Amino acid sequence: MYKFFAVLAVAALSASTASAADMVEPIAGSTYDWSGFYVGGHVGFANGDITATDVTEPLGGFFTDSVPAGTEGFDFNKGGVAGGIHAGAQWQWGQFVLGGEATWTATGIRKTITSPYFPDSDTETAKISNYATVVGRLGYAFDRVLIYAKAGYAGGKVDFRARDNEALVTYEKNEWQNGYAIGAGIDYALSNNLSLGVDYTHIDLGHKTSTGNNVFDDGSLGANPETYRTEAKVDAVMARLTYKFGMGQ
């Protein structure tokens, strides 16, 4: 369903670009112009879904050596407070508003679980510390109310940590992962420059495979490096406060 909405948003953006070029005057009765550059802050709730799979050959590695590689996984689902900043630019033709926006968001998505393979000694922790998006936006304005859809790039920092509390050894990866973002929202102009809004974004950070050493607490390296594949997604709902440096009123 998310892929359908992404295709729909991109198709609508492409189709409206050509027709919007012919619409150069605001519609009769419209008193607010959404055109301009803007900056703002946002805060809300983000739910993260992270999967870490040990793909170390021939078995599952030091922490999961009782199962074949690629068949075990640790699943983490955690919500938390999130917030950050956004900036962009948009132009209005008639009731259509086209633009682009960049965001950066820090999250409180972090969860630790007990290993199902070695529950007496091992724990695993996953975290999405922050993510960024760069999206195109297509909106439709009803005077001071703007409804929009968006789609584009997303990237985020995904952390995974496996800890053997008995042997005092740790594996850790901290990688930037790339994917896409789609979403929608609504803004209301409180004044010519200030607006409030609510925004929903689905972020798919794709997957990434990396190899790292097991490190003992004394700094020495374990004999068996680990190779983990991590996948991550975020669904976020944010309240937004935005200041527009308007090219219109």
44-91 residue pLDDT tens: 999 999 999 999 888 887 777 778 888 878 999 999 999 999 999 999
pLDDT at 247: 61
pLDDT at 22 over 60: no
Total residue length of the chain = 249
Quickly count: other Cβ atoms within 10 Å of residue 20's Cβ.
17
In the chain, where are the structural domains located? 2-246
Burial of 149 (C-beta count, 10 Å sphere; 0-12/13-18/19+): buried
User: Is the pTM value of this prediction over 0.75?
Assistant: yes
Burial of 162 (C-beta count, 10 Å sphere; 0-12/13-18/19+): buried
Write the CATH number of the domain with boundaries 2-246. 2.40.160.20
Amino acid found at 21:
A
90-144 residue pLDDT tens: 999 999 999 999 999 999 999 999 988 889 999 999 999 999 999 999 999 999 9
